């Protein structure tokens, strides 16, 4: 039958995944973050089929994550919107986890540095309102005002119930 669509699930995670959770999508976005702009560049770099790339880009433009414009070169260029740029923490968190837990033999493949001083940025971390570093089990999830406002509901107890 038809695959279930995450889109209807009233859950911010599912919502996010419905946009960037498709295969290839996050890799495309990464490439645009990396400075690739043109269809051909992306296609060549990723080794993705053109029709797939075309579909994904169309979707991302529709979602206002990318903008398509004619660049100075006269070719079409894809650029990240503010909404797209806001995905950066997700990407960085993924890269960081990958570097830690599925490392290359020789160490980190990429290092992100502050443009100003060229010093590495902090690892993505969870912090309390006053800046303390929090461990996974230090936080709880509470239902917000938007919880279960539409039909579908997601149960919500505690975020990391440490037994």
Partner DNA sequence: CAGTATCCTACGTGATACTG
Partner DNA sequence: CAGTATCACGTAGGATACTG
Among 17, 19, 27, 52, binds DNA (CB under 7 A): 52
Among positions 76-115, residues that touch DNA (CB under 7 A) are 76
Structure tokens at 127: 């912090």
Pick the closer one to DNA by CB: 54 or 135. Answer: 54
| CA gap 117, 102 in Å, rounded | 28
* 33 scored as a contact of DNA (CB under 7 A): no
Q: Which does 50 bind (CB under 5 to 8 A by kind): DNA, its own copies, none?
A: DNA
Question: Counting contacts by CB under 7 A, is residue 24 touching DNA?
Answer: yes
Q: Binding to DNA by residue 67, rule CB under 7 A? A: no
Min CB(72)–its own copies separation in Å: 9
Angle at Cα 16 formed by Cα 10 and Cα 21, nearest 5°?
120
Q: Give the nearest distance from C-beta 21 to DNA in angstroms.
A: 9
**Long-range Cβ contact pairs of 114-122 (< 8 A, separation 24 or more):** 121/92
Q: Residue 4 or 116: which CB sits closer to DNA?
A: 4
Question: In the bound complex, what is the minimum distance in angstroms from residue 118's beta carbon to DNA?
Answer: 31
Q: Which helix (H) or strand (E) holds 70?
A: strand 66-70
Pairwise CA distance, residues 52 & 127, whole Å: 38
DSSP designation for 69: E
What is the C-alpha separation between 64 and 62, in angstroms, rounded? 5
Binding region for DNA (CB under 7 A): 1-4, 22-24, 38-41, 48-52, 54, 57-58, 68, 75-76
């Amino acid at each position: 039958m038809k695959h279930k669509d995450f889109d209807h699930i009233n859950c911010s995670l599912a919502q996010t995944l419905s946009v960037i959770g498709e295969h290839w999508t996050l890799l495309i976005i990464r490439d645009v973050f990396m400075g690739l702009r043109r269809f051909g560049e992306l296609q060549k770099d990723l080794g993705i089929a053109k029709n797939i790339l075309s579909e994904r880009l169309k979707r991302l433009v529709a979602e206002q994550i990318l903008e398509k414009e004619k660049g100075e070169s006269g070719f079409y260029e894809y650029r990240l919107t503010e909404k797209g740029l806001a995905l950066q923490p997700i990407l960085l968190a993924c890269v960081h986890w990958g570097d830690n837990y599925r490392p290359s033999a020789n160490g980190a493949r990429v290092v992100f540095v502050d443009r100003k001083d060229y010093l590495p940025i902090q690892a993505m971390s969870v912090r309390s309102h006053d800046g303390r570093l929090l461990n996974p089990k230090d936080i709880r999830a509470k239902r917000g005002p938007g919880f279960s406002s539409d039909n579908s509901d997601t149960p919500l107890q505690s975020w990391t119930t440490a037994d």
